[in-house]
Amino acid sequence: MSGGRYEKNYEQIIGLPHHISEKHEQMSLHDRAAQFSPFAALTGYEELVVEEARLTESRKALDEDIRAELDRRLSLLAADETEHPEISVMYFLKDADKDGGSYLSKTGHVKRIDSVRGMIMFTDRTEIQISDISFISGDIFGNDKHL
């Protein structure tokens, strides 16, 4: 199909030179292309998609034996906190934006155990909720079995 009737409509102007305005500066190719770029009608949509795709974990329930061992280790730490022993803990950090969270690890020197607030306080001012801890290790525990 050669265009037929459309060619007849434009045959008077098809050979004319491209019009260049004397009043207005010609738009740059960059600005011209920007006119045809996608329009972000939903501001923040891209961020929502990324946030929804971010994975979180569920908190794992600890059995009684592990909980008892954690309590024993916390008691040892409380009795020896003036020595500022170095420990490593694995703990659950609840996600601020969605259900679940993630397991993080922290190694540092214990400043003190705050039993009123239920926190382990480290010398670098990090505070970890005792109820979020799932694992504690360190030289202070000797050759104890691992949790």
Give the domain CATH number at 86: 2.30.30
Name the one residue in this structure whose structure tokens are 């920007």: 34
106 lies in a domain? Answer: yes
The more confident residue out of 82 and 71 is 71
In a domain, 78, yes or no: yes
Residue 19 lies in a domain: no
Digit-coded pLDDT (tens) for 81-109: 778 899 999 999 998 888 889 999 999 99
Which pTM was predicted?
0.62
Count H helices, E strands: the chain?
A: 4, 5
Q: Answer yes or no: is 113 within a domain.
A: yes
CA pair distance 75, 81, nearest whole angstrom:
10
Give the closest residue to 144 by CA, choosing from 84, 89, 136: 136
What domain count does the chain have?
Answer: 1
Distance CA 107, CA 65 (A): 23
For residue 114, tell me if it sits in a domain.
yes
**Any domain includes 4:** no
Convert the pLDDT of each residue in 32-52 to its tens digit: 887 777 666 677 788 888 877
Q: Quick check: is 51 in a domain?
A: no
Q: 109 lies in which domain range?
A: 64-141
